[in-house]
Amino acid sequence: MEKLRGDLANLQAYFSANYAPEQRSAAQTAFLKKLSELTHAHYRGKMQTLPKAGIWDFNWFNVWYTPGVSAVSTSIRDGYERSYELSNRGNLVAVVSDSTRVLGDGDCGPAGGLGVMEGKAMLMKYLGGFDALALCVNNRGEDGKPDPARLIDFVRMLAPSVGAVNLEDISQPNCYRVLDELRESCGIPVWHDDAQGTACVTLAGLLNALELAVETTPLQNAELHITLEIAQESIQKRSVIYDKSDDAHYDTISAFIKSVRGSDPDAALYWLAKMLHAGEDPRFILRRLIILASEDIGLADPRGILVANAAAQNFEYIGLPEGCLLYTSDAADDLLCVDFGGRRIIKKKRITKTLEQLEK
């Protein structure tokens, strides 16, 4: 029996081999929680601060600190916008929480959200290249209840030091008041992950249903009538309409990436074939697959980035038209295989067949 690897690359395969299907999810979750506790204790958290400028001699402290840094202070005094140029502010996000709704665990106390906020800071650095500060705020009043006004004041005072604020795990209804007031008064982008993220996904689903209804519903007497039933039915249909210069360009690649991420081979096959049929640049698809491989899939299995990079390099050697079909589908295939524990998912003849269907 294969042992669980230290890099967790065979995590899903290990639990599939050792636990019944009805036990697998709970066992894997319990394992990950315990491992998380132990590794956080070992590393004392997961984030640290490092300088990005060199100190080549002791005298460089006089450049980065006093007296040289005085010129930075007066420059920002005379031109506030230069704070983004002369400091790390433009690349720094404050991840702020009062820890009153931490994941599914509810109110964990002011410091209870630190693990999640550090996790969000790690994601921002790893996926987006942004630096982030995990800030858990004690905004409890004398009655022990969270006071949204205190949280608002804290972020307002913090704003001159950061380029944006990500609000996280703040309970309702306080989260709405905090978001609305800070967006009006801070002068920098403020985003509430839980509220706005959910709203954006829901709105996108509604708009997509309406758009598909327009694309797939025939005219009646030169008029187009869309009802709730038509919109519901339309999302079950597939539309081949695709314009690389319009929003469909990004909607389609997003649907493709989500299908690979969600381990849905049929959907991934369809969206990939649709893009190739529409003349999408294979390099664009491969770049997005490399990004995906370094994010979600790469966190679960480091082989993902190797697969995506190899496919991109092979495409450059082969070129068009062979590389278009061969290596873009190879990359999607192999990344899905990584997610499915090594089982072959997409076959070239299935890609070809789907392309033929789109031609009809």
3-state SS string over 39-72?
A: HHHHHCCCCCCCCCCCCCCHHHHHHHCCCCCHHH
Strand partners, 223: 220
- Domain that includes residue 280, residue range: 247-359
pLDDT, position 250:
72
pLDDT, position 242:
56
| Confidence bin at 351 (pLDDT 50/70/90) | very low
Measured CA to CA, the distance from residue 348 to residue 336 in angstroms comes to 14
Measured CA to CA, the distance from residue 220 to residue 227 in angstroms comes to 13
68 plus 120 within the same structural domain: yes
What average pLDDT does the segment 326-353 reach?
A: 46
**Other CB atoms within 10 A of residue 172 CB:** 11
Does residue 8 form part of some domain?
no
pLDDT, position 247:
61
266 plus 298 within the same structural domain: yes
| Confidence bin at 338 (pLDDT 50/70/90) | very low
Coil, strand or helix at 94: strand
What average pLDDT does the segment 172-182 reach?
A: 93
128 plus 204 within the same structural domain: no
Q: Name, of 175-184, 190-199, 201-210, 286-295, the range with top average pLDDT.
A: 175-184
92 plus 153 within the same structural domain: yes
184 plus 201 within the same structural domain: no
Segment among 95-109, 201-215, 255-269, 335-349 with least mean pLDDT: 335-349
What average pLDDT does the segment 34-41 reach?
A: 94
279 plus 351 within the same structural domain: yes
What average pLDDT does the segment 245-256 reach?
A: 71
161 plus 219 within the same structural domain: no
**Six-digit token string for 238:** 């597939």
Average pLDDT, the chain: 81
Cis peptide before 148 (omega within 30 of 0): no
Does residue 255 form part of some domain?
yes
Q: Which residues contact 141 (CB under 8 A, 6 or more apart)?
A: 147, 150
What average pLDDT does the segment 67-94 reach?
A: 96
Strand partners, 92: 131
Does residue 323 form part of some domain?
yes
| Confidence bin at 80 (pLDDT 50/70/90) | very high
Does residue 239 form part of some domain?
no
What average pLDDT does the segment 5-17 reach?
A: 89
| Confidence bin at 229 (pLDDT 50/70/90) | confident
Given a cut of 90, whether residue 79 has pLDDT beyond it is yes
Q: How far lies 10's CA from each of 110, 158, 216, 300, in Å?
A: 36, 43, 43, 9
CATH of the domain at 85: 3.40.50.10380
Given a cut of 80, whether residue 85 has pLDDT beyond it is yes
DSSP conformation class of 265 = H
| pTM above threshold 0.85 | no
**Six-digit token string for 70:** 């005085």
286 plus 332 within the same structural domain: yes
Segment among 52-61, 81-90, 97-106, 151-160 with least mean pLDDT: 97-106
112 plus 152 within the same structural domain: yes
pLDDT, position 280:
76
Given a cut of 50, whether residue 87 has pLDDT beyond it is yes
Does residue 294 form part of some domain?
yes
Q: How many domains does the chain have?
A: 3
Does residue 50 form part of some domain?
no
71 plus 130 within the same structural domain: yes
161 plus 271 within the same structural domain: no
Does residue 13 form part of some domain?
no
Given a cut of 80, whether residue 236 has pLDDT beyond it is no
Does residue 292 form part of some domain?
yes
Instruction: Name the nearest CA neighbour of 149 among 182, 119, 120, 117.
Output: 182
